[in-house]
Amino acid sequence: MGFLLLLLGLALWIGAHLFKRVAPERRAALGDRGKGLVAAAIGLSLVLMVLGYRSAEFVNVWYPAAWLTHVNNVLMLFAFYSFGIGASKGRHAQRIRHPQLTAVKIWAVAHLLANGDLASILLFGGLLGWAVAEVVLINKAVPVWEKPSEIRPNGDVKNAIIAAVLYAVVAGIHVLLGVYPFG
């Protein structure tokens, strides 16, 4: 049942996020009500993915080396930093077109390196595939990127501090859930 929930959640996540890209007329026809429907679908998809991942039978596919846990942890710092680039409006906002999707890709790769079980490969690999597809579809729809004009002098520093705090909070949540991210 765990794998089924995981796959349903993943499919719902991908479908809800890509709906606007693959069926823009249908999404526009829903108007503001559509925002609520998409948000509900994304929320439900998260619940299904978490429940499915946590309850999936452990099926080992490969054994990651112990040092890959440390690579995962370093990459996660970059993922948190990347996620906040757009909001921080520092200099890096003019270098990375899709900072949040870049963060998802870093997060997914990091977790694929550190986890060799089937549920992890499905979850993190599926979300990596979605993030790549999303970037391709956005770049196809809007091929020319207008870089942000507003740059905040301390934006990158503030983003780094917030990323470090969030990293610590998420690591603490992992520990509370019985997952020890530091080996």
pLDDT tens per residue across span 7-58: 999 999 999 999 989 998 898 888 888 899 999 999 999 999 999 999 999 9
| Exposure b/e, 59-80, CB count within 10 A at least 16 = b | eeeeebeeebbeebbebbbebb
Which band of pLDDT confidence, cut at 50, 70 and 90, is reported for residue 175? very high
Domain boundaries defined on the chain: 1-57, 59-183
Is the pLDDT at 153 greater than 80, yes or no? yes
What pTM does this model have? 0.94
Q: Average per-residue pLDDT in the chain?
A: 96
Q: For 69-99, write each residue's pLDDT tens digit.
A: 999 999 999 999 999 999 999 999 999 999 9
Alpha-carbon gap, residue 160 to 167, rounded angstroms: 10
